[in-house]
Structure 1
Amino acid sequence: MLNEKHDLIHELPEHKDVIHTLKLENNHFARLFDEYHDIDHEVRRIETGVETTADEHLEQRKKQRLLLKDQLFEMIQKQLTA
């Protein structure tokens, strides 16, 4: 959906505290989180017309964002079961 927020806190609000803890304590999580945020910001700029790009590039960035979200969610789940 256009202009919909996909930042991790909006996507997983019930895990806000775990996300915060992982960002502080896990460098790999923090790096992936920042990469996810950067890609989400880029996608939103393209979808709102601030930036223009080929449709293929936008779709590739959306797929990358989803892959990162899956990786981050897996790390959150592991933290919850630890």
Structure 2
Amino acid sequence: MSNTPHDLYEDFPEKAEAIHALKAADAHFAKMVEDYHEVNRAVHRAETLVEPTTPEHEAELRQKRMKLKDAIWKQIAA
């Protein structure tokens, strides 16, 4: 799939169909997934020094990623 760690489809392979279905049916969920992927890519770029950032900003990005992932999990686990 992706070369970026923490991709939703790799972290939750058994929920891939649920993620896809919810993205198609729920605009808010689709936006959360889009935001998650955007933040996840930013974290990956910071970690690999493609786009270096301050430790504080990287921590903020990781926190945002975690909150989005938790919100996504609550939707797909229901």
TM-score for the superposition, normalised by structure 2: 0.92
Give, as a single letter, the amino acid of the residue that structure 2 aligns with 1:55.
P
In the superposition, relative to structure 1, how do residues 37 and 49 fare at CA in structure 2: closer, same or farther (>3 Å)? same
Structure-1 residue corresponding to 2:50 = 50
Q: In structure 2, what is the equivalent of residue 67 of structure 1? A: 67
Superposition misfits of 4+ residues, deviation over 4 angstroms: none
Asked whether 1:22 is paired with 2:22, we answer yes
Aligned residues: 76
Could you tell me which residue of structure 2 aligns to residue 31 of structure 1?
31
Fraction of identical pairs, as percent = 38
Alpha-carbon distance in structure 1 between the residues aligned to 2:35 and 2:42 = 11
Q: What's the secondary structure of 2:52's corresponding residue?
A: coil
- Note the C-alpha offset of 1:4: 6.2
With structure 1 as the length reference, what TM-score do the two structures score? 0.88
| Higher Rg of the two aligned structures | 1
What root-mean-square deviation, in Å, do the aligned CA atoms of Structure 1 and Structure 2 show? 1.3
- 1:41 is aligned to 2:41: yes
Deviation of residue 72 (structure 1)? 0.3
Q: What are the ranges of 5 or more consecutive residues in structure 2 without an aligned counterpart?
A: none
| Aligned-residue offset at 1:77 | 1.6
1:11 Cα shift?
1.1
